[in-house]
């Protein structure tokens, strides 16, 4: 096992207590467990294998630290990663971090693809959906801040995509449950730079994934319905004639300063030859005299990569 002294770990003890025949959950204020220090090269040599559909049992060191595990997957594998209540010590506080895939030099990179602190049982960690676009070896890191040789169990469950054996067709009414994930750092930088050009025009990006264990693809209509079901996009529900079109046609509809995002989004999230579609909604409203607002919501649907990108562009009268 590899573990490192913590850098930036915060918090104090707290978590789960158990009684015979009954679980009693108690929590205290905890600080977030920071991502491990980079570079992550030392994990390459010492990380133990973790199989999709399997679990590993391990233990913490005597001080706050981290341990890495190698997860090898096919392209578009979707997994749930969890430090489980079963097999983990009481009062343990963990964090989860996913990096990769490993490149030709042996590096997993420095960008955290997915992370979680306390979404599992008590202070244990759970990434409910990690969509791994590329085939290869990923690094899953468990961190802890209250150690003393505690035990923990890390489980990797298949929830969709390439790891599902003998998938069945989806029903015609099958909806999507969206799970938000971080937008790629390079795309965020491009967006932030474009947002500096004019004070009356801004755009926003969000990334959502959806678990898909079926043999037939979902639809852009299902993706749009899932987005509009969110309260923050309720204002677009009044558009009675949204437009659906191929992704290639989106670029001409983007404000010019944001158009570099068009090829970048495709390069970052699309599979080769993937038939990416867009469903676009428009709204106009006034906030008073000389207060006209124009907004467009573009739901970008990646049927093979299991991504939904929300690109919203806004303009207001000045």
Q: What is the pLDDT of residue 139?
A: 95
Nearest to 143, CA basis, from 65, 56, 49? 65
Higher pLDDT, 105 or 18: 105
Read off the pLDDT of residues 249-289 as tens digits, 9 standing for 90 and up.
Answer: 999 999 999 999 999 999 999 999 999 999 999 999 988 78
Helix (H) or strand (E) holding 136: strand 136-144
Q: What is the pLDDT of residue 254?
A: 97
Own/partner contacts of 164-168, CB < 8 Å, gap of 24 or more, are 164/213, 167/213, 167/214, 167/215, 168/214, 168/215
Q: What is the pLDDT of residue 4?
A: 43
Confidence of residue 148 (pLDDT cuts 50, 70, 90): confident
pTM: 0.86
Confidence of residue 30 (pLDDT cuts 50, 70, 90): low
Fold type of domain 16-161: Jelly Rolls (2.60.120)
Tokens representing residue 92 in the block? 């343990």
Q: Tell which CATH classification among 2.60.40, 3.30.450, 3.40.50, 3.40.1000 matches the domain 178-316.
A: 3.40.1000
3-state percent breakdown (helix, strand, coil) of the chain, nearest 5: 15, 35, 45
Q: Which residues contact 302 (CB under 8 A, 6 or more apart)?
A: 269, 270, 271, 274, 276, 308, 309
Extents of the domains making up the chain: 16-161, 178-316
Q: How does DSSP classify residue 168?
A: B
Q: Do 278 and 221 contact (CB within 8 A), yes or no?
A: no
Tokens representing residue 63 in the block? 């001080």
Percent of the chain with pLDDT over 70: 89
Q: What is the pLDDT of residue 45?
A: 60
């Amino acid at each position: 096992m590899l573990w490192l002294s913590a850098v930036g770990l915060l918090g104090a003890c707290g978590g789960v207590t158990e009684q015979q025949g009954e679980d009693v959950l108690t929590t205290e204020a905890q600080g977030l467990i920071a991502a491990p220090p980079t570079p992550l090269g030392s994990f390459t040599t010492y990380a133990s294998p973790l199989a999709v559909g399997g679990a590993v049992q391990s233990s913490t060191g005597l001080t706050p630290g981290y341990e890495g595990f190698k997860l090898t997957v096919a392209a578009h594998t979707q997994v749930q990663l969890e430090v489980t209540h079963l097999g983990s010590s009481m009062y343990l506080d963990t964090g989860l971090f996913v990096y990769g895939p490993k490149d030709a030099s042996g590096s997993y990179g420095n960008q955290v693809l997915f992370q979680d602190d306390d979404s599992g049982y008590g202070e244990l960690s759970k990434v409910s959906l990690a969509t791994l676009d590329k085939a290869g070896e990923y690094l899953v890191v468990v961190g802890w801040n209250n150690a003393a040789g505690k035990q923990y169990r890390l489980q990797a469950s298949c929830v969709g995509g390439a790891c599902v054996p003998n998938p069945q067709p989806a029903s015609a009414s099958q909806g999507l449950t969206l799970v938000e994930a971080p937008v790629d750092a390079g795309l965020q930088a491009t967006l932030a730079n474009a947002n500096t050009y004019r004070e009356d025009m801004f755009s926003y990006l969000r990334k959502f994934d959806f678990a898909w264990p079926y043999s037939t693809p979902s639809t852009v209509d299902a993706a749009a319905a899932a987005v509009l079901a969110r309260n923050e996009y309720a204002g677009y529900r009044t558009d009675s004639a949204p437009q659906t079109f191929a992704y290639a046609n989106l670029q001409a509809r983007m404000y010019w300063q944001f158009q570099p995002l068009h090829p970048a989004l495709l390069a970052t999230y699309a599979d080769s030859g993937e038939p990416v579609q867009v469903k676009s909604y428009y709204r106009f409203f006034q906030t008073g005299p000389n207060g006209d607002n124009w907004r467009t919501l573009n739901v970008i649907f990646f049927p093979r990569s299991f991504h939904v990108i929300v690109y919203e562009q806004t303009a207001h009268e000045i």
